[in-house]
Amino acid sequence: MGTRIGWTELPRHVRAAVEEIIGGPVVEAVSQRGGFSPGTADRVRTAAGKRAFVKAVGTELNDFSPQLHRREARVTAALPPEVPAPRLLGSYDDGDWVALVLEDVEGRHPATPWQPDELERVLGAVSTAAQMPDLISAEESLAEDFAGWRRLSENPPADLDPWVARHLDVLCRLADRGLAATRGDALVHMDIRADNVLLGADGTVTVVDWPWACRGAEWLDRALLLINVRLHGGHDASALLAQHTADADPDDVIAFLGGFAGTFLDAARQPAPPGLPTVRAFQRAQGDAVLSWVRELLN
């Protein structure tokens, strides 16, 4: 996870802008764990009792993170009302620091390993028919990432898995097919994991962190969620995959997973980004989990 700063470490002018959006001075801020950002993630309360969730980051912490916040602000502001996401109350951007002020949602992350009832709730919640035609397509968004196997084949690391080394051509073709299989018009989150989901005591499901949202095949988020299930164990992920992507060609689904395996493993060998010392280890864990799954599915 990221090494976060807290509310009081934000520049004074950023805090003032956030307080103007909320409508009063913040008297309490509780930092939230999880996620991969060096910026703030605070549940805040004003003297008048108003609540909000604040995310803010500046280029001095990580020069890419503000771009993600800008993208998330645009996406979240335009999300259809049927999408289970927190509403954007306002945002601030001075060209350096970017802050998002979102609806404060009561809830907790799902337990991992996933509990069957919680998993079914979330799988149902992400199965919406919502559309946002102006978003980038998943195929375009993932094109560079899904070239991961080609980059690995051009410059293989010394510790490359022997099975991978023997099947690099197959894996490259798999990623190409997986990329084409993403085509569709559904709104997809593209980063569904337990730490991006909140479960309300009333049974509601809220999906947070939307910077990677795009247009794609309707089953993509369910497949991505099952990557997280596979990572944490405790379920027959292959049976769940067959059940929850039954509307897709099974070979397309396997190819999509194969593309993500290459994405994770190629990214994991890069230097850690500023402020995110643990992200490469997490990518490696995901890559190993998906690769072992793809090998099973191909047999």
CA distance 108 to 252: 33
Q: What is the CA radius of gyration of the chain?
A: 20
Q: Which regions of the chain are under pLDDT 70?
A: 1-3, 34-35
Q: Tell me, what's the pLDDT at 28?
A: 97
pLDDT in tens, 25-45: 999 999 987 667 789 999 999
Nearest to 111 by CA among 211, 214, 195: 195
**What is the total residue count of the chain?**
299
Q: Tell me, what's the pLDDT at 228?
A: 98
Q: Taking the model in full, what pTM does it have? A: 0.94
pLDDT in tens, 69-85: 999 999 999 999 999 99
Q: Tell me, what's the pLDDT at 96?
A: 97
Q: What are phi and psi of 27, to 5 degrees?
A: -110, -10
* Structural domains in the chain plus CATH codes: 7-102 (3.30.200.20), 116-298 (3.90.1200.10)
CA distances to 13, 50, 75, 222, 271 from 71, in Å = 22, 26, 6, 22, 24
